Amino acid sequence: MIVRLLEFLCRRFLDILGTQMSFASPLFLWFFMPATLAVYWLLPPRLRNAVVAAASLVFYTWGAGPYTLLLLAAVAVNYAAGLALGSDRWRDRPEARRGVLLAAVGCDVAVLAVWKYAGFAGRQVDALAEALGLGHTPVVDLALPIGISFFTFHHLSYVVDVYRGSTPAQRSPVRFVTYIAMFPQLVAGPIVRYHEMAGQLGDVRRDRFGDLASGFPRFALGLAKKVVVADSLAPIADAAFAQAGGQINTPTAWLGASAYALQIYFDFSGYSDMAVGLGTMLGFRLPENFDRPYTAYSVTDFWRRWHMSLSRWFRDYVYIPLGGNRCGAPRTYRNLLVVFTLCGLWHGADWTFLVWGLYHGALLVAERLLGWDRPPAAAWSVALRRGATLLLVLVGWVIFRAESMPEAWNMLRAMFTWCPGELDEFVAYAANRQRVVVFTVALAVVVAPAGPALGSLIEEGRGRAARAARAAVTWVAAPCAAVLVAAGTFSPFLYYQF
């Protein structure tokens, strides 16, 4: 009996070691995270950055394999560029400094372009050549390294901040690797601008128990969002969108679109909560990424609340350098369209992402033209504006999620022109009683009247409600999520693919 038990445990351990490591995997929750925190706690404070850097490279290597070399090459190029840009010998040579900046930015953009967009561009050229009767052209499809969009933006932030003089160049390679490769935010954000982290990298004072007490409940909240809510809604959304290429009726389309809107919010905000909580446990304060986005009164307000670190990045490094809103209305509208075109492409190399970005850019331009980007004055209009904004965002999510534009149009047609019929049998099977309850509760949570974001309340709140929330996620939500993880019901985070 004991031999069989040991054999089972060994097999289970080997199975766990053979899985991909994500925040919601047994390998991470039961081995990697406890081991990293234990080493972090036991070693002297001056070694904090070294511990985080080493753990981060192990974490990334486990998931990316040989693509770790690409990450390290990018780290080396940008570290060297930062030293050159920050050197006193270059202060009186503005042309040379600009050349170094352009070279570093060019390398970063080239890495992203080759690995993320070369295949898409090749397929478009091949389709055009075939349409013109010229035959097929070669198409090179490269595997997408995980987190490439995020660590590229971190590198760009670093070299631009140093060039602008916003912060000194980082001379310690260990601290620089810690900033770029920090495993809580390496794969799916939040996107951390260098000037936000520069001071923290040099401050190794630690309140171990305080950081753990503050960070773990936030991590537990994110884990519950992901495993209990997002993963419960995923089968409904997947089953509905699988019908988008054929005959799909109106009830199926609306249920699928709504389920995906809830899934992507709880999945991505759950990851962000886990990242912020992990960062806190390691002594870092990462920026917030969500602030109840489905309570927004306009699409402009939505982008102040959704993926806030991405919005701030595009604002500081693209929108403002293009002129922002300082050069008249036409250029402001152009700048908005440029930013959201890039935002769509940043999410993925496909026409659906490009159209989604243009769609949001056009909505922001329309709101500025109509004056709807400002808060509503009358109380009665708040609910109306919130409902209209949520509907517009929902349309965007259909385009974002669909496999192709024809499937997106088919889904939207079913949503806005009556196509009678009962729920598709696969969708009805996926929408069992437990998932319907989760769907209903999740919908009620995201459309409830505006209030403080739960993540911030749990981590920073001091009142009775905050203490009750911390106790609930620590002693109820986290164990429930751990049981689901142990049962193997988790799935990869949606933003791992970006």
CA distances from residue 64 to 56, 146, 152 in whole angstroms, order as listed: 12, 6, 15
Does residue 93 sit in helix, strand or coil? coil
* Residues 205 and 285: beta-carbon distance below 8 Å: no
Rounded to whole angstroms, how far apart are CA atoms 377 and 458? Answer: 31
Helix pair angle (194-202, 148-164), 10° resolution: 80
Gap between the Cα atoms of 48 and 265, Å rounded: 32
> How many residues does this entry show for the chain?
498
User: Is the separation of the CB atoms in 77 and 205 below 8 Å?
Assistant: no
For the chain, what is the radius of gyration of the CA atoms? 24
Given its phi and psi angles, is residue 169 left (phi above 0), alpha (psi -120 to 50 degrees) or beta?
beta
Residue type, 146: I
Indicate the angle between helix axes 250-281 and 208-224, nearest 10 degrees. 170
Question: In angstroms, how far is the first alpha carbon of the chain from the final one?
Answer: 47
List the structure tokens of 44: 């002297």
DSSP, collapsed to helix, strand or coil, labels residue 117 as helix
- From the CB of residue 198, how many other CB atoms can be counted at a distance below 10 Å? 19
Question: Which of 154, 149, 12, 161 has its CA nearest to residue 85?
Answer: 161
Catalytic sites, residue numbers: 347
CA distance 369 to 333: 9
Interatomic CA distance for residues 172 and 275, integer angstroms? 24
Comparing CA positions, the residue from 321, 289, 316, 324 lying closest to residue 305 is: 289
Q: Which of 52, 54, 420 is nearest to 204 (CA)?
A: 52
Backbone dihedral region of 165: left (phi > 0), alpha (psi from -120 to 50 degrees) or beta?
left
CA–CA dist 74, 44 (Å, integer):
29
